[in-house]
């Protein structure tokens, strides 16, 4: 294992302090910060990237501004979860699979939610979802929004269970974008809640194409309730942290893997 992905673990607390002080209210450009800190612009960019992942700063073209309050409260378990920027990259790849006027399904989960945020770049979509967070994000988007009814599950803020079949089975979905807690080659996707698993299974069977959005921390993990089998999945989008062996296995099974 020689090739390690270049993930920045931490920046010096000293520099973090200076940056946050500089950003105290006002926006600062990369150049300003670079001079103030006496380091290269490349380093400043990396520092800001790190601070953005921590939710302390928002990067904008040309510089950054400080955020007043942490973006995402951990509504649901994110202990094993990966950096937000990785999720955004996964979401961006997924966005590439969506064209104007598509009919898509959005599942719950933070990665899929990132995708929802990007959907303003498309026009005239029909979006079906069981996620109230995604729905909130798309409320004012102008897209045609259909919400799958069902039992509300507070932890994930999704609609789940048998009732969801009433509407899902009456719709024709082109592409379904799913999140998951765990994913293995043998068992397919799995979740902590069986109602949640049921609804995922339903969607996968109903959609022309089932696309799994899962950062590498999810791959190889198994959770309580399985959803269908691995053959229900057509595409897996993940980040470079995934083990090459797993990728090979999946491709052998005819599953497209995007990193």
Partner DNA sequence: ATTTATCTTGCAAATTATTTCAAATTATGT
Partner DNA sequence: ACATAATTTGAAATAATTTGCAAGATAAAT
Among positions 6, 68, 79, 252, the unique one binding DNA when judged by CB under 7 A: 6
In sequence order, the β-bridge partners of residue 225 are 191
d(CA 51, CA 78): 18
Of 191-230, which residues contact its own copies (CB under 8 A)? none
Nearer to DNA, 133 or 213 (CB): 213
Q: Does 29 bind DNA (CB under 7 A)?
A: yes
d(CA 162, CA 150): 7
Residue-level length of the chain: 259
Shortest distance (Å) from residue 12 CB to DNA: 6
Shortest distance (Å) from residue 232 CB to its own copies: 22
Q: How many residues bind its own copies (CB under 8 A)?
A: 43
Residues 228-254, buried b or exposed e (16+ Cβ, 10 A)?
bebebbbbbbbbeebeeebbeebeeee
In a 3-state reduction of DSSP, which class is residue 255?
coil
Q: Does 2 bind its own copies (CB under 8 A)?
A: no
**Left, alpha or beta for 34 (phi > 0: left; psi -120 to 50: alpha)?**
alpha
Shortest distance (Å) from residue 78 CB to its own copies: 13
User: And the tokens for 54?
Assistant: 């921590």
Which region among 59-67, 79-87, 177-185, 199-207 touches its own copies (by CB under 8 A)? 59-67
Residue of 203, 218, 228 lying closest to 236 (CA atoms): 218
8 Å CB contact between 201 and 169: no
d(CA 62, CA 193): 44
Nearer to its own copies, 116 or 230 (CB): 116
Nearer to DNA, 118 or 147 (CB): 118
Contact residues for DNA, defined by CB under 7 A = 1-4, 6-12, 15, 29-31, 39-40, 42-43, 45-47, 49, 59-63
Interacting residues with its own copies (CB under 8 A): 7, 9-10, 12-14, 26-27, 55, 60-63, 65, 71-72, 74-75, 121, 132-133, 135-137, 139-140, 144-152, 154, 157, 159, 163-164, 166-167, 170
């Amino acid at each position: 294992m020689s090739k390690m992905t270049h993930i920045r673990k931490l920046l010096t607390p000293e520099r973090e302090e200076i940056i946050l002080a500089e950003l105290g209210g006002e926006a600062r450009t990369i150049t300003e910060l670079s001079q103030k800190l006496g380091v290269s612009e490349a380093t400043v960019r990396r520092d800001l990237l790190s601070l953005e992942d921590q939710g302390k700063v928002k990067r904008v073209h040309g510089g950054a501004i400080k955020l007043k309050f942490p973006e995402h409260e951990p509504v649901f378990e994110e202990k094993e979860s990966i950096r937000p920027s990785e999720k955004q990259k996964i979401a961006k790849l997924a966005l590439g699979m969506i064209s104007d006027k598509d009919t898509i399904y959005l599942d719950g989960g933070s990665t899929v939610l990132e995708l929802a945020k990007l959907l303003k770049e498309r026009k005239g979509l029909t979006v079906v979802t069981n996620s109230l967070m995604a729905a909130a994000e798309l409320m004012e988007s102008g897209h045609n929004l259909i919400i799958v009814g069902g039992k509300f599950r507070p932890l994930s803020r999704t609609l789940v269970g048998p009732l969801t079949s009433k509407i899902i089975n009456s719709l024709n979905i082109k592409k379904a974008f799913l999140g998951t807690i765990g994913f293995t080659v043998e068992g397919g996707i799995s979740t902590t809640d069986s109602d949640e698993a049921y609804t995922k299974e339903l969607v996968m069977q109903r959609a022309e194409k089932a696309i799994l959005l899962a950062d590498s921390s999810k791959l190889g993990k198994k959770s309580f309730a399985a959803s269908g089998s691995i053959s229900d999945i057509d595409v897996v989008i993940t980040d470079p942290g995934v083990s090459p062996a797993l990728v090979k296995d999946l491709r052998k099974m005819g599953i497209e893997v995007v990193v």
